[in-house]
C-alpha cells in the first residue's frame, strides 16, 4: 500500500477517504482537518489564548500537540478526579507530555485536584451526596473548566471530542429526540453570556482510530484505558453500533455527523447560542460568582451538601 499523496510506503489506510498515507502526509492530513474545523466553525485565531482540557487520553493530548505545532497559544488544564490507579496513570501521562513537549513550546499546564478541594475523590463524593459518579464528575469538570478559563482570561476552551464522540452523542440525542440537546450540539459554542467561556471541539472531523494513529506515530504516550466508571455506558454502546456500520460502509459516521452540522448551519444561528430566556435568568452565584440560573450554582450546592454529610 503506497501513500496517496507522495507514493512512498503508507503507514495507515483511511477507507472513509479512500486514501492511504505515509507518516508525513498523515500528519499533514490531520493538521488540515483541524485547520478546516477551526475555520469552518470560527473557533479561534492565532492571537487568542486557548485552554485545552487534557485528560491523559489520546484525543486531548493529540489536540494539545496539534495546536502547539500549528502555532496556536495553547495552555492546558488537567482535573485530577481521584479515581484510584486510573487517575494516577492519566496524571502521569499528562505530566510526561507537558514536560516533553508543551514546555518547549512555552505552554503551561494548570492542575485542579478534586480531593484537595472536596476532601475526597469523585467516587466517594458521589456516594456522599447520593448522585451517580458520572454526573457528579460532569458538574465538577464543567465548573473547573469554566472557572479556570475565566479567572486566567482564556478566550476559548477546547476539548478533545472527536468524530466518534460527536456521532455517538448525536445518535443518542436522535434516538431519544432530545431536541433541546440537538439544538445545542455544536462543535463551537460561543461565550454567549458574560462569565461563560467559549467552548470548541477542533477534532470533530477526525475519528478515534485516526487520533490513536496520530498519537502512536508522534510518540505521544497516553492512557489507553477508558475511565472505569464509563464501563457499559450508553455512549460506548452507540459507538459500538456506529463502528459496525462504519466497517460495512466506510464514511457512515462522517455522513451522519457532518450532514447534521450542515443542516444545523442552515437553521437560525440562535439555535446554537443561549436563548434570550436563558440570558435573562442568568446571574452570579451568591457563593462563587459564576453564572447560574439559581441563587447558588449546582457546583456550590453539591460541595455544601458534601461538607454537611462529611460533618454529620
Ligand atoms: P470524555 O468525556 O472522557 O470522553 O472526555 C471528553 C473531553 O473532556 C476530553 O477529550 C478532554 O478534553 C476533556 N476531559 C475529560 N476528562 C478530563 C480531565 N480529567 N481533565 C481535563 N479534561 C478532561
Ligand atoms: Fe468522570 Fe469517569 S471521567 S466519572
Ligand atoms: Zn457557585
pLDDT category at 307 given cuts 50, 70, 90 is confident
Residue nearest to atom 4 of ligand 2 (CA): 134
**CA dihedral in degrees (41, 45, 46, 51; nearest 10)?**
-80
Locate the ligand 1 atom nearest the alpha carbon of residue 52 and give its number.
Answer: 12
pLDDT tens for each residue of 4-34: 999 999 999 999 999 999 999 999 999 999 9
The closest ligand to the CA of 53 turns out to be 1
Residue 287 alpha carbon to ligand 3 centre in Å: 5
Burial of 194 (0-12, 13-18, 19+ CB in 10 A): exposed
For residue 271, pLDDT beyond 50:
no
pLDDT in tens, 95-154: 999 999 888 999 999 999 999 888 888 999 999 889 999 999 999 999 999 999 999 999
Looking at residue 269, its pLDDT comes to 58
Cell of 275: 436563548
Domains of the chain: 23-239+249-281 (3.40.50.620)
227 touches ligand 2 (CB under 6 Å): yes
Q: Map grid coordinates 487520553 to a residue.
A: 57
Query: Is pLDDT above 60 for 274?
Result: no
Measured from the alpha carbon of residue 122, the closest ligand is 2
Residues with CB under 5 A from ligand 3 (ion): 285, 287-288, 297, 300
Question: What cell numbers appear for 41 in the block?
Answer: 466553525
Closest atom of ligand 2 relative to the 138 alpha carbon: 1
Amino acid at each position: 500500500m503506497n501513500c496517496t499523496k507522495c507514493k512512498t510506503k503508507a503507514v495507515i489506510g483511511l477507507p472513509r477517504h479512500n486514501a492511504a498515507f505515509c507518516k508525513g502526509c498523515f500528519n499533514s492530513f490531520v493538521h488540515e482537518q483541524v485547520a478546516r474545523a477551526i475555520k469552518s466553525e470560527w473557533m479561534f485565531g492565532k492571537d487568542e489564548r486557548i485552554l485545552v482540557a487534557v485528560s491523559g487520553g489520546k484525543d486531548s493530548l493529540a489536540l494539545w500537540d496539534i495546536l502547539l505545532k500549528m502555532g496556536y497559544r495553547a495552555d492546558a488544564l488537567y482535573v485530577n478526579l481521584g479515581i484510584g490507579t486510573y487517575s494516577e496513570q492519566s496524571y502521569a501521562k499528562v505530566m510526561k507530555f507537558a514536560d516533553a513537549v508543551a514546555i518547549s513550546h512555552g505552554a503551561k499546564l494548570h492542575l485542579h485536584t478534586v480531593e484537595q478541594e472536596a476532601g475526597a475523590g469523585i467516587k466517594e463524593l458521589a456516594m456522599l451526596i447520593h448522585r451517580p459518579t458520572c454526573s457528579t464528575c460532569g458538574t465538577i469538570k464543567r465548573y473547573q473548566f469554566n472557572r479556570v478559563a475565566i479567572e486566567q482570561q482564556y478566550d476559548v476552551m477546547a476539548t478533545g471530542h472527536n468524530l466518534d464522540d460527536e456521532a455517538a452523542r448525536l445518535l443518542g440525542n436522535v434516538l431519544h429526540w432530545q431536541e433541546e440537546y440537538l439544538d445545542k450540539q455544536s462543535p463551537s459554542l460561543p461565550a454567549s453570556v458574560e462569565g461563560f467561556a467559549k467552548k470548541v471541539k477542533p477534532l470533530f472531523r477526525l475519528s478515534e482510530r485516526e487520533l490513536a494513529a496520530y498519537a502512536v506515530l508522534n510518540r505521544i504516550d497516553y492512557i489507553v484505558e477508558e475511565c472505569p466508571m464509563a464501563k457499559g455506558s450508553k455512549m460506548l454502546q452507540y459507538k459500538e453500533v456506529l463502528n459496525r456500520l462504519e466497517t460495512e460502509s466506510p464514511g457512515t459516521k462522517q455522513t451522519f455527523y457532518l450532514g447534521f452540522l450542515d443542516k444545523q448551519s442552515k437553521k437560525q444561528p440562535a439555535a446554537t447560542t443561549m436563548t434570550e430566556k436563558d440570558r435573562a435568568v442568568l446571574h452570579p452565584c451568591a457563593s462563587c460568582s459564576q453564572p447560574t440560573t439559581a441563587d447558588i450554582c449546582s457546583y456550590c450546592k453539591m460541595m455544601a451538601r458534601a461538607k454537611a454529610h462529611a460533618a454529620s
